[in-house]
Amino acid sequence: MKVTVDPDRCEGHARCWEICPEVFSLDEQGHGRAAAPEVPAELERKAAEAAANCPERAITVS
């Protein structure tokens, strides 16, 4: 499983990082990014939950 954050959609709500800090981090402007784009199997459920909770739908899971 892979995750990506669309920088054009991200508004810095930080829910991704709050829910799954193992996969998502925040840059210096507080925008989310995938620190671990290749999500380990044991973190897939949390990463998917983070994606579902992004109010801007900025996170793509593939």
Task: Catalog residues that contact ligand F3S under the rule CB under 6 A.
Answer: 5, 10-16, 31-32, 54, 56, 58-59
Rounded CA-CA distance 1/28 in Å is 26
CB of 42: closest distance to ligand F3S in angstroms? 21
**10 phi and psi angles, rounded to 5 deg:** -60, 130
Nearer to ligand F3S, 47 or 54 (CB): 54
CB of 41: closest distance to ligand F3S in angstroms? 22
CB of 18: closest distance to ligand F3S in angstroms? 8
> Which residues does 43 contact at the CB level (< 8 Å), separation at least 6?
20, 22, 23, 36
